[in-house]
Amino acid sequence: MRKRLLMVCVALACAASLAFGTDFAVVAHASNPVKAMTLADLGKIFRGKTATWQNGRNITLVLREPDSPGMKFVIEKVLGGTLEEGKAILNESSRKTNVPVVFVSSDAEVVKVVEGNSAALGVVDVYNITSGVKVVKIDEKQPFDPGYVLKGH
């Protein structure tokens, strides 16, 4: 049995065959003073146009491999083009020094890298966050807020 007889339809919302989308969280080191940014700001970081935090430290971007589940949505949403165009931007040779992009194989690794690097900025499935990272609001909203822009499908 499940723990409760759920009679209300929406309380039993998972009875059919469709998986839900997830919200992606933009995460920074817990000590990073940044609390919020716009999607456009995030796009500039992804493009390497904004390279430093306000304190002058160089930003490192930490992402899952572009072909991993969900990353297509994130890259297309943040950069506004196709996945292939996004990959090209993130893999440009100049990125080694200008907002270097670290690709890792799991959300847990993204969180781990961001927890250990005070200048890092990562994107993860929100269900993988810990208190070792700070969730940065995007366009004044955080994951699960109505209208949150990084809500995947």
Partner 1 sequence: MRILNRILCSTIALTIAGATAGSVRAQDRTVPHTTSSDEANHWYELAMKEREDLLFVDKGIDSMREAVKADPHFALAHAALAYFTNDPLEEKRERALAQKNMANASPDERLLITWMNGTKDGDLVPAIAAMNDLIAKYPSDERLQNLDGEWLCSNQGAFDRGESVLKQLLKNDPKYFPALNNLAYCYALSGEAKLAPALMEEYVVALPNQPNPQDSYGEIMRMLGDYQAALEHYNKALQIDPDFNSSKVGVASTYALMGEQEKARAQYLVAIDGTKERATKLDYRILWAMTYYRENQAERARQELRKIVVEADRDGMAIEHAEAHRDMALFNPDAQTALKDIDHARVALLARDFAKGDRDNELATILFTRAFIAARAGLKDEVQKSLEPLSVMARTSRSYIVQRAYHSAKGASLLMQQKYDAAIQELDDDAQNPLSLQLLADAQNKAGQAAEAQKTLTTLAAINDERVETAVAVPQARAALKASPPTTAQATPFHIHP
Question: Is 145 a residue that touches partner 1 (CB under 8 A)?
Answer: yes
Q: Positive or negative CA dihedral for 97, 99, 102, 103?
A: negative
Residue 27 or residue 90: which is nearer to partner 1 going by CB?
27
Residue 111 sits at the vertex; the CA angle it makes with 105 and 116, to the nearest 5 degrees, is 115
Q: How far apart are the first and last CA of the chain?
A: 29
What is the contact mask toward partner 1 in residues 54 to 93, using x (rule: CB under 8 A)? ---------------x------------------------
Residue 81 or residue 127: which is nearer to partner 1 going by CB?
127
Instruction: Characterize the bridge pairing of strands 36-37 and 133-138.
Output: parallel
Q: Quick one: which of 50, 57, 142, 152 contacts partner 1 (CB under 8 A)? A: 142
Quick one: which segment of 35-43, 50-58, 75-83, 126-134 binds partner 1 (CB under 8 A)? 126-134
Size of the site for partner 1 (CB under 8 A): 38
The answer to whether the beta carbons of residues 48 and 98 sit under 8 Å apart is yes
Residue 21 or residue 81: which is nearer to partner 1 going by CB?
21
Nearest CA to 33 out of 51, 56, 64 is that of 56
Residue 1 or residue 93: which is nearer to partner 1 going by CB?
1
Quick one: which segment of 56-64, 80-88, 89-97, 119-127 binds partner 1 (CB under 8 A)? 119-127
DSSP state of 93: G
Q: How many helices (H) and strands (E) does the chain have?
A: 4, 6
Q: Quick one: which of 113, 129, 138, 150 contacts partner 1 (CB under 8 A)? A: 129
Rounded Cα gap, residues 146 and 88, in angstroms: 32
Q: Can you give the binding site for partner 1, defined by CB under 8 A?
A: 1-20, 22, 25, 69, 125-133, 135, 142-146
